[in-house]
Structure 1
Amino acid sequence: MYAKNDLVELSIIDITDEGNGVGKIDGFAVFVPGTAVDDRLRVKLVKIQKNFAYGIVEEILSPSPDRIPVDCRVYRQCGGCSLRHISYQAELQIKQNWVEQHLKRIGGIDAPVLPIIGSPRQDGYRNKAQYPVRMEDGELRLGMFGKRSHRVIPCTDCRLQPSEFESILKTIRDFCLEWKISIYNEEKYSGLLRHVYLRSAQATGEIMVCLVINGVSLPHSGELVDRLRTVCPSVASIVLNRNREKTNVILGQHCQTLWGKDTIADILCGVRVNLSPLSFYQVNREGAEQLYRVAEEFAGLTGRELLLDLYCGAGTIGLSMAHRVRELIGVEIIPQAVENARRNAQENGITNARFLCDDAKGAAASLQREGLTPDVVVLDPPRKGCVPEVLEAVSGMNPDRIVMVSCNSATLARDLAALRTLGYHTVKAQPVDMFPRTTHVECVALMTR
């Protein structure tokens, strides 16, 4: 019925979890980015499939009441803030719906989904940013990869990042141009500077500058150190990360401190946390404190429990609960993260915690050898969720309660369904928005035996 480049009129009735609006013409679904529920639009069809199509907005005939002015000059090219064009209240309702629908449709979970908790801040909340550095069209670009591409969109003033990052990025750009630092070419695997990686510790104000290089040293690095210290006195650590692999993975495994400390320190839920370039840490500190409070509440701790924290990273979740348990055991497969976790426990005077460098199956075997059974297991897996072996290992340890923290409610729903077959019932779920203006949302779920 329809062909590419046809113009159609439609109303947006829903938003997908990729941030695209959904409209229908004669029962035929059309997905349109940058739209809001109740928009009335004239849309150009740009890709036709058997049962659906993709379109772009040609004209807004009648705007949704949820629409707000877009305050970012690279919003459409970047694609990171897929929901920046709608009000935050509307965004929260959309994310609430996503979690509810994922749990119901993917997992067959009928447990109550509590009202979403919004982020304390919608701008400037990210404490970490990774900027690709490329030469494109004869221009040195630092910024973000465009949506579904590896073309760099120049942007040093992203509204999601701390304002201090802008002056640091401009200083690095000027340094590279002045000293003719070679820039990485990902097609030829040549050139030196690959990424600029910045971390900020909100509680202490410390900033880490990490330059990812395809080599062993950075020419004139002393000059760059002096400039960064002058332009941003909050910089407490300047690090080189060596990544000579032919890969899209941003960081290599070897770090060299050029100046300052090897780590910066932040405070999360009263726990002082040391952060290296390789440490996992929630990007929204204030949002993370809300998230961890929910996880602690769901864990139902009385002070008598053995708590097992799987995927513990630098130990932040478990250490925030250590004062409420008999013993904390954290498990992480990345050795440097385990060392960070041990150091964090020591520096905070937490004596009832220990950390194992192992996977879930190995940790289960270790506990079994010691004759230990966890009362509560906290799971905070990566976006792809848990592999079946992890869920089987957890259920095999027979904890009373499992608390799962997930940044992907679709894989969360899948994992909850798998745990149901292993004898665990989902009691409730709590969405927590950690990533305002984007299509990501965190969720905490409680399961009991």
Structure 2
Amino acid sequence: MCSKETKFSIIQGNKRGNIRRLSTRVLKALNIPSADYTEEILSGASTARYTVRNVKSREEFQERLLKIKLNSRDRIVVEDDSLTPSERLSNQVTPLWRMEYPRQIEEKEKDLKEHLCEIGVSPRVVSKPVLSPRTEHYRNKTDFAIGYSEDNKVTVGFTNGLYTEGIVSVHGAADCVHIPAEAKQIAAEIERHIAEKQIRPYNRKTNDGHLKLLLVRTHTEGILCCVQINPQGMAEGELDEAERGLCGCVLHKTFKTDDGGEREVKGFFVQHSERAFNGLLPAATSPFRLLGGQESVYEELMGCRFRIKIDSFFQTNKYATEKMYETIRRLALCGEQTGKVLLDLCCGTGTIGITLADSFARVVGVDLCESSIEMARENAALAGKKNVSFHCGDVTEKIAGVLSGIEAGCEVVVVLDPPRQGVSRRVTRAIREEPRIKQVVFASCALKQSKDNIEELITPGKDAGEFCVEECTMVDMFPHTKHYEAVSLLRRK
């Protein structure tokens, strides 16, 4: 294939390295005349991005790039100019979008088995996968980037690649299969308003401009939105006018859903951030300020209502979440309808324990985050669950105390749904050291990162408290992406 222009990025893997020195060496090896390329060094990332003109053969150019010897941490990334911007974005956010759904499931099951084999668990424990009831428009939380498209138009969508690879352009989300219609419409309305009022998006490369992100949370009983702004250089009146205008263009307006219904924007927030980092900050670092409407909405899950704030944790695919919680219940009960006690570690806002409370004699949740525990208690009261209690504190310090309050003879089952990176070794050690814990249901949204926790529970040791993996189920929480939930049943030997 012939191409007049090719783009590539040189990425310095060693943060202490010199990107200028590396890029000079690469350009010298390529022997490109200085008149035939433009260079862009990204601040905050050890990346140099190049646009090369007058390239006769893209394949030949790539071959020359591959022959350049680099250190193991350094790499060169060539952009595929055969794809449209929309296709590149889909490859970025939903890399399996071209696959038929059954093939996606096969790929994820294969990945699950490979990770289990790496820690010495037989792939034979993998049971029938649990599919998502909805494979499109399923996300209830979307973080849109605000920036400029490749042709320099104000755009609210997603970055068309990784910043570390030199990509900063933003493309609209209209063709993204996992985003609901109402979220796309809100993004389009905010985009129109920004262009009309000429409010500058934040530019991460030059560290100027203002608008950074748009968060849209779409739930059963309404929508919450938040815009993140870098207020640098804005007069107080200018900032206030910009915030009120953004709020006014969507608050209390209704937007069409994919099933033909309508949802109203019930609350609009703003968060200020002068950091170069593109992402919402914790409320403790920078508060979410309500500009108009109500501060929360409600969502239904397995017959229970949950209060959702702008920064509440809630699974992004409600439909598959119900399937996952049913899987957790099945594995925790193991067919026994006796008076088991469910100990929910890293319980967050309590959704697992509350939705499964009717199947257990008692549910006890523990989490380090005080605001999450407060929300969990509120949600339990809202659902009318009398056999549920929540405790704030370090999991390793709370386990013994919680177990001492459970009647002797009651069988205790732990459900552990940790953050993406898993939990510390102290937590798995505390579980092993408590002989009353006979079963653990471990749910992981990133088995590649958290499989060490399973290995810590199943590896023989001096305490003789190891477990074995009896079953592992893949729950497809994130269709069209490579991610999934792995729900495993571990039983003490």
Output the TM-score relative to the length of structure 2. 0.72
Residues 153 and 239 of structure 1: CA distance in aligned 2, closer, same or farther (over 3 Å):
same
Q: Write the letter of the residue equivalent to 1:224.
A: L
Counterpart of 1:219 in structure 2 is 241
Counterpart CA distance in 2 for 1:180 and 1:55 is 34
List gaps (5 residues or longer) in structure 2. Answer: 1-58, 256-262, 460-464
Matches within 5 A, 1:1-12: none
The one of 264, 279, 282 aligned to 1:234: 264
Secondary structure in structure 2 of the residue aligned to 1:74: helix
The residue correspondences of 1:76-115 to structure 2 (distance < 5 A) are 76-78=88-90, 79-109=92-122, 111-115=124-128
Q: How far apart are the structure 1 equivalents of 2:281 and 2:172?
A: 21
Alignment match, 1:380: 417
Determine which of 162, 171, 177 is the counterpart of 1:148: 162
Residues 325-404 of structure 1 mapped to structure 2, 5 A cutoff: 325-367=360-402, 370=405, 375-398=412-435, 399-404=437-442
Shift of the 231–344 alpha-carbon distance from structure 1 to 2, 3 Å rule, reads closer
Find the aligned partners of 2:401 and 2:147 in 1 and give their Cα distance: 47
TM-score with structure 1 setting the length:
0.79
Q: Distance in 2 between matches of 1:262 and 1:309?
A: 27
Please list the CA deviations of residues 201-258 of structure 1 after superposition, one character each: whole Å capped at 9, or x if unmatched: 1xx2511111122349653444433321335352122122333445444234112222
Residue 433 of structure 1: aligned partner = 476
Deviations 1:138-163 (A, max 9, x none): 43222112333352431132221111
* Count of residues in Structure 1 that have an aligned counterpart in Structure 2: 395
Aligned-residue Cα RMSD (Å) equals 3.2
1:225-304 superposed matches below 5 A: 225-228=247-250, 229-230=252-253, 232=255, 234-253=264-283, 254-300=287-333, 302=337, 304=339
Point out the structure with the larger strand share: 1
Distance in 2 separating the partners of 1:81 and 1:305: 40
Instruction: Determine which structure has more spread, i.e. the larger CA radius of gyration.
Output: 2
- In structure 2, C-alpha distance between the alignment counterparts of 1:331 and 1:244, rounded to whole Å: 34
Instruction: Name 2:353's counterpart in structure 1.
Output: 318
Aligned to 1:208, the other structure's residue is in SS state strand
CA distance in 2, matches of 1:281, 1:195: 19
Please say which of residues 168-177 and 300-309 is displaced more in the overlay: 300-309
**What is the aligned-residue identity percentage?**
26
| Larger CA deviation: 361-370 vs 127-136 | 361-370
Tell me if structure 2 keeps the 8 A contact 1:107–1:416: no
Which residues in structure 2 correspond to 1:68-83 (within 5 Å)? 74-78=86-90, 79-83=92-96
Give the superposition deviation at 1:188: 5.4
Matches of 2:306 and 2:77, distance apart in 1: 46
| Residues 1:420 and 2:451 are matched in the alignment | no
Structure 1: distance between partners of 2:356 and 2:375: 17
- Please give the per-residue CA displacement for 1:368-413, whole angstroms capped at 9, x wherever unaligned: 6657787011111122222211211222233111001111232353
Moved more, 327-336 or 288-297: 327-336
One-letter amino acid of the counterpart of residue 266, structure 2? A
Taking a change above 3 Å as real, the CA distance of residues 221 and 343 of structure 1, as seen in their structure-2 partners, is same
Distance 1:107 1:214 in 2: 49
CA distance in 1, matches of 2:275, 2:430: 33
The equivalent residue for 2:147 is: 134
Contact persistence 1:111–1:427 (CA under 8 A): no
- Please give the secondary structure, in 2, of the residue aligned with 1:181: coil
* SS of equivalent residue, structure 2 residue 347: coil
CA distance in 2, matches of 1:218, 1:322: 46
* Equivalent position SS for 1:383: coil
Q: Report the Cα distance in structure 2 between the residues aligned to 1:156 and 1:296, rounded to whole angstroms.
A: 36
- Check the 8 A contact 2:213/2:279 in 1, yes or no: no
Sort the Cα spacing of 1:397 and 1:241 in 2 relative to 1 into closer, same or farther, 3 A.
Answer: farther
Aligned to 1:36: none
What is the rounded CA distance, in whole Å, between the counterparts of 1:128 and 1:107 in structure 2?
Answer: 36
CA distance in 2: counterparts of 1:205 and 1:73, whole angstroms: 34
Give the Cα separation in 1 of the matches to 2:102 and 2:378. Answer: 40
CA distance in 2, matches of 1:252, 1:411: 23
Q: Is the helix fraction higher in 1 or 2? A: 2
> Is this contact kept in 2: 1:238–1:260, CA < 8 A?
yes
CA 1:154–1:368 in 2, change beyond 3 Å: closer, same or farther? same
Displacement of 1:109: 4.0
CA contact (8 A) 2:253 2:265 kept: no
Give 1:365 shift.
4.7
Higher alpha-carbon deviation: 174-183 or 323-332: 174-183
Match of 2:224 in 1: 208
